[in-house]
A and B are shown apart, each in its own frame.
Chain A
Amino acid sequence: MGRTLAEKVWDAHIVRRGTDGAPDLLYIDLHLVHEVTSPQAFEGLRLAGRPVRRPDLTIATEDHNTPTLDIDLPIADRTSRTQIETLRRNAQEFGIRLHSLGDADQGIVHQVGPQLGLTMPGLTVVCGDSHTSTHGAFGALAFGIGTSEVEHVLATQTLPLAPFKTMAITVDGTLPKGTTSKDIILAIIAKIGTGGGQGYVLEYRGEAIRALSMEARMTICNMSIEAGARAGMIAPDETTFAYLQGRPHAPEGADWDAAVQYWRTLRTDDDAVFDAEVVLEASDLEPFVTWGTNPGQGLPLSASVPDPADMADENERVAAERALEYMGLTPGTPLRDIAVDTVFIGSCTNGRIEDLRSVAKLLRGRTRAENVRVLVVPSSARVRLQAEAEGLDKIFLDFGAEWRNAGCSMCLGMNPDQLQPGERAASTSNRNFEGRQGKGGRTHLVSPLVAAATAIRGTLSSVADLGPDVVAPDGSPLTDADRGLLSA
């Protein structure tokens, strides 16, 4: 019988097959480290007198706690400063490569791997962070681990793992204009639920997925965890190879050829059987937004806030009632009428150059809605530099947005960028849990295009709401590149 993509990558990393129900021991190709989940792992090594087995397969960056302003000044928050200083000491002591605040390669850990060309098809990638699933966009088996597993990987470069089940998520058709891969994944989560992927590695496939850029694929795989899955994968293809070629750590010469030859075998065999299958039609999709406090509580933007009384399932109803109370929303309110205080564009979900380009395209020549704070935070220092080289920063500043240094920023309330209690945000990040963006903050998860349209109008909006002049506000003709930006 044929094998799925996930099974092929798994099989290629078995150091020792578990017998009698014991887990397989898997080799880990790439271990990404950041300041929040690593301190106790390093201390565990120190207490046991163990070295890091493969510093050359390990890389660290600072992201969760880092401020996005005044990055050359000492970090004000004591806990944040301690975590970052601890990482710096540990990296030095154990010989780990670290990209610190202020370094051109610093950024969110899930941006740093891909942009350096370290994330590749067919790898096993781990990090003490649940959004490690992002790297699955390259056809890598990538998943988040806990602190004691971080220590285990540091010490042995392996992990004992029980096998996952596999689920195929096929997205057919073509995405309509004004929708993005973010809308695909929000629709998938709304469809299968936040627990729907539990125990599975998801493989995204089908025409709509193949048409996506690497950035857009990363957005989808990033949020696999929000569907409860351990990992999400997309088979590598020419898009993947083109993204990788020439990056600092991409293979060169004969190694590149050998790699590509192998990577082409990394696809699910025609006769392979998935444990579960889900099908979605892309052309039916509309821009999606969440109304509640988990990523599964989402609806097309054209809908209204749901009425919990209409929900048959008791648990679902109770959860919805609680969510609406927290969100300060009344059933029946059209989602388009919801006014926001803040628009956050950034995170490892949607803080990449392509996201910034598509946002800039919409913001150019327009003005910010009054009383809306707009925060644009690149996912890495390189992305920031690239955006500045393209002049995007000018567009953001002209629009009235704030243009920040790289980091997790308002994706989570761990650094100075936070919502105030009761403040409402349209956010391109991945989690809308209570208090995630700051105590009492209310989050609506949206795509970058919806975020941009919302920044212009002040209420949750889609590109279509901006009127017919949407693509070329300056009167310039619509180019193929514009089309690509608005549909990718």
Chain B
Amino acid sequence: MEKFTQHTGVGVPLRRSNVDTDQIIPAVYLKRVTRTGFEDALFAAWRGDPSFVLNQDAYTNGSVLVAGPDFGTGSSREHAVWALKDYGFRAVLSPRFADIFRGNSGKQGLLAAQIAQEDAELLWKVLEANPGTEVTVDLVAKQAHCADVTVPFQVDDYTRWRLMEGLDDIGLTMQHESEITAFEAERAAWRPRTLPAKHLPPVEVVAARPVAAPRHADDALA
């Protein structure tokens, strides 16, 4: 995961509260098997509306989202974070995040920074008055700067440290790899292994065929 200390990019004012994960990415996109390429799915229901903020040229390349309270509520789908990241967002600023969304964000390198409601209003005003204004998110100082406005934000120390070190969950665990290896060395011999594979003798599996609910097995053959 990329280290995150400071990021500067176009700020996008999303004047909506309670943006749930269904709005961030609708369920139909969950059928995909990829991990990337969800940028077209982000806010899919709103993207058809020409007045939607991301459809305005000045904001199209945005990377810092400033949203209303209760961002990321609803289903726990990790796709919501993937879609935001794939679109190009590096940080979301909101007065309140859903817990699971915030957790998922931190794990995947998206900064979910909590700001005061008044500060959200301040940022919205600047970003709406001068579309395309950049926001600098400084994770070291826990501040966001936008034109002449500076607002503090909150992020828990653990998530902040992880983002600054660029450690995802797996990277964190792998810091303890020697302990995992030591644990494996002590594992009892009876504990199962899937390889080499052991089976009952192979047998042919015959495909069932559609039938009109036969009364007798023999009818089906006839």
Residues on A facing B (Cβ under 8 Å): 15-16, 25, 27, 29-30, 39-40, 43-44, 47-48, 50, 55-59, 68-73, 79, 82-83, 86, 97, 102-106, 116-118, 120, 123, 146-148, 151-152, 155-158, 160, 248-249, 251, 255-256, 258-259, 262, 368, 373-374, 381-382, 384-385, 393-394, 397-398, 400-405
Contacts and interface: CB of A to CB of B under 8 A. Distances in A.
A69 B210 contact: yes
Given A97-B197, A400-B213, A402-B213, A385 B191 contact: no
Nearest to B104: A148
Interface stretch (B13-21, B88-96, B133-141, B174-182): B174-182
B26 to A, nearest CB: 15
A160 B220 CA distance: 54
A40 to B, nearest CB: 4
Contacts, number: 165
B216 A156 contact: no
Contact of A397 (B104, B193, B203, B217): B217
B222 interface: no
A405 B209 CA distance: 9
B192 interface: yes
Contacts of A43: 33-36
Interface of B: 31, 33-36, 76, 78, 104, 107-108, 168-170, 172-174, 176-177, 179-180, 183-184, 187-195, 197-200, 202-205, 207-211, 213-217, 220
21 contacts: A15-B183, A27-B187, A43-B35, A48-B168, A55-B194, A69-B208, A83-B31, A83-B33, A104-B203, A116-B198, A117-B192, A148-B107, A148-B108, A368-B213, A373-B213, A374-B213, A384-B205, A398-B217, A402-B208, A405-B205, A405-B208
A156 B173 contact: yes
B194 A249 contact: yes
Nearest to A118: B192
Given A15-B179, A102-B205, 12 more contacts: A16-B176, A27-B183, A56-B193, A70-B209, A72-B207, A83-B31, A83-B33, A148-B107, A157-B184, A158-B173, A249-B194, A398-B217
B33 to A, nearest CB: 4
B180 A123 contact: no
B188 A258 contact: yes
B180 A147 contact: no
B109 to A, nearest CB: 12
B77 to A, nearest CB: 9
A35 to B, nearest CB: 9
A202 to B, nearest CB: 22
B190 A255 contact: yes
Given A16-B176, A397-B214, A400-B214, A385 B205 contact: yes
Contacts of B78: 40, 146-148
Contacts of B198: 116, 248-249
A117 B63 CA distance: 51
A103 B180 contact: no
Nearest to A50: B170
B207 A71 contact: yes
A40 B215 contact: no
Contacts of A105: 199-200
